[in-house]
Amino acid sequence: MAVNKQTIINAIAEYCRAENDKDKQAWLALFAENIVHEDPVGMVSNAGKEKVAAFWDQMVVPNNVELWLTDEVIVCGNEAIALMQCRVGPADKRQESGRIVDNFVFDDAGKITRVRAFYTYQ
């Protein structure tokens, strides 16, 4: 059974908000226990909440990630595509990304089971 479309949209908005506010617990609460988080696809893959929490500590916080949606989230069944951009780095050397395309997969309880982040990795 598909998750409600608005539940998916709200979860993705919360994903961005939690990263921006450095709210690790809210961010982790979005994920199912069996989460697989690939960021970026083909380079970094973390399976399970413990590994995703370590990714947060190693990448999100030190790089001061700011993430935002650039377009309406596309929802199809229990999956979604989110078009995003981000800023990273210290205040005096902030860099803005090009387009980011994230594919989210949700379980029937509305928890994220997979995230695949596509972007040009430099």
**CATH number for the domain harbouring residue 19:** 3.10.450.50
More confident residue, 98 or 103: 103
* Structural domains in the chain (count): 1
DSSP 77: T
Chain centre distance of CA 83 = 11
- Average pLDDT in the 63-92 region? 95
- Residue 22, pLDDT score: 95
pLDDT above 80: residue 1: no
The whole-angstrom separation of Cα 32 and Cα 28 is 9
- Predicted local confidence at residue 97, as pLDDT: 87
Q: What is the pairing mode between strands 112-118 and 31-38?
A: parallel
Instruction: Determine whether 88 is exposed, middle or buried from the number of CB atoms within 10 Å of its CB (0-12, 13-18, 19+).
Output: middle
For the cut 90, the answer to whether the pLDDT of residue 27 exceeds it is yes
> Domain range holding 81?
5-118
C-alpha torsion sign, points 68, 74, 76, 77: positive
- For position 91, what pLDDT does the model report? 82
Contact 116, 110 (CB under 8 A): no
What pTM value is reported for the model? 0.94
Residue 101 and residue 80 in contact, taking contact as beta carbons nearer than 8 Å:
no
- Looking at residues 22-31, what average pLDDT do you find? 98
Per-residue pLDDT at 98? 87
Average pLDDT over residues 79-89: 95
Indicate if the pLDDT at residue 121 is higher than 70.
Answer: no
The sign of the CA dihedral 61, 67, 111, 48 is negative
Whole-number percent of the chain with pLDDT over 70:
98
- pLDDT-derived band at 122 (thresholds 50, 70, 90) equals low
